[in-house]
Amino acid sequence: MKICLFTPSFLPSVGGMEAVVGKLASEFHSAGHEVLVLAKLARSEQPMPELGYEVGRYRRTRSNLYFLGPASRALRKEHARRNFDIIHCHSIYPNGYVAAKLKAKLRSAVVVTCHGGDLRRFSRKLLARHRLRWTALQADATTCVSAGLKQSLDNLVGMTTQACVIPNGVDPAVAPPDRPCEAFSELAKSPFLLTLGRLHRYKGLDVLLNALAIMQNDGLTPPTVVIAGEGKEGDNLRSLAKTLGVNDSVHFVGNVQGNNKSWLLANCLFFLQPSRQEGMPLTVLEAMAYGKAVLGTKITGTEELVTDGLNGALVSPEDAGSLAKAICRLTPGGTLRELGKHAKSLAQRMSWHSIAERYLELFEGIRSV
């Protein structure tokens, strides 16, 4: 098949959707399909990683409501060159909407995948909400990365849609280096907890810092917490840690990749995911692949991965007090090891290879109709 993965953002930008598109593109390419990732020009100045498939770019615009021309022209141009069988859009809006508007002219099947960010960003805007509904009904197939997102989409559309749930996947754990890099040498001396991802309000890291402060105010010594990632909330979070008096317990280490990331995942006691909103958190799956229990929140996506008492623990979002108590309960020992064993078992059933096969089966089914 000739497959276009049509996405608003891609590598070298770092985020869940970018990682998903990259993994699927790699799996489709390895399966012998012709693949093009078509994405907006990157904001990041970091170099692109080496990829085995092609990447096309289109111009960024000031508005995703009124200036969709560059995306539309780029898709038409690339289709004229390649004659795609499948246009797989990552985000119902704006990319899914652009492809669905062109579907009759291009005569390609259009599949749209909701990762959650499109619903968060656009469902409150009247015009975009109308386009979200229209696209979900016009696409040849709609998928969501979690059952909770499908329910949100059904609520938005006002009916039970034919959307299917295809979750995100995870790579097998990579053996970490025996010793950490020099920057992490202090972390090797004592146990630490880890959270990993964009420093954004919806990740709930301010709630985590308040939980550490509650522990300290109760006369307990807060655990060492490593916060890996970058984002627009970084300065605010560092300031909050100082204000709360927990900055000695918190290490902000920036974006981590490769050996540094694998060392942190392999050596943390357990993983923290105190988010307010998620689609299907890749970082939770990555931690589980390393056999780590996860302390998360009762929200869409996370609840579908973490079962309280089986492979981790769940607390209500925004509840710093409950989060503090749960951190205290998840102490090293047999219980934590048992939770981690079940976490790893779940991750092993969700390989990217198996997830890509589910998409390819969907694509083949559409083409055969």
Judge residue 104's burial from the number of C-beta atoms within 10 Å of its C-beta, 0-12 exposed, 13-18 middle, 19 or more buried: exposed
Structurally, how many domains does the chain consist of?
Answer: 2
Q: Which tens digit of pLDDT belongs to each residue from 168-199?
A: 999 999 989 888 888 888 898 889 999 999 99
Q: Which tens digit of pLDDT belongs to each residue from 220-236?
A: 999 999 999 999 999 99
Angle (nearest 5°) at CA 112 between 108 and 118: 140
Q: Which tens digit of pLDDT belongs to each residue from 283-312?
A: 999 999 999 999 999 999 999 999 999 999
Residue 92 CA to residue 153 CA, distance in Å, equals 10
**Six token digits for residue 320:** 């710093």
pLDDT > 70: percent of the chain: 99
Angle (nearest 5°) at CA 199 between 18 and 210: 145
* pLDDT of 334 over the 80 cut: no
Task: Please check whether residue 302 is in contact with residue 278, taking contact to mean a CB–CB distance below 8 angstroms.
Answer: yes
Residue 177 included in any domain: no
Residue 297 included in any domain: yes
Alpha helices in 218-269 (DSSP H): 234-244, 258-267
Confidence bin at 120 (pLDDT 50/70/90): confident
Asked if 128 and 269 sit in the same domain, the reply is no
Asked if 251 and 342 sit in the same domain, the reply is yes
Residue 329 included in any domain: yes
Asked if 207 and 297 sit in the same domain, the reply is yes
In the prediction, which pLDDT does 273 show? 98
In the prediction, which pLDDT does 283 show? 96
Average model confidence (pLDDT) across the chain: 94
Asked if 165 and 254 sit in the same domain, the reply is no
Higher per-residue pLDDT: 180 or 263: 263
Residue 174 included in any domain: no
Residue 176 included in any domain: no
What's the whole-model pTM score?
0.92
**Six token digits for residue 27:** 């799996």
Asked if 209 and 314 sit in the same domain, the reply is yes
What is the domain-level CATH number for residue 63? 3.40.50.2000
Q: Which tens digit of pLDDT belongs to each residue from 32-78?
A: 999 999 999 987 767 788 899 999 999 998 888 788 999 999 999 99
In the prediction, which pLDDT does 84 show? 97
In the prediction, which pLDDT does 181 show? 86
Residue 58 CA to residue 91 CA, distance in Å, equals 16
Q: Which residue has the tokens 């025996």?
A: 178
Domain that holds residue 358: 2-169+351-368
Asked if 58 and 30 sit in the same domain, the reply is yes
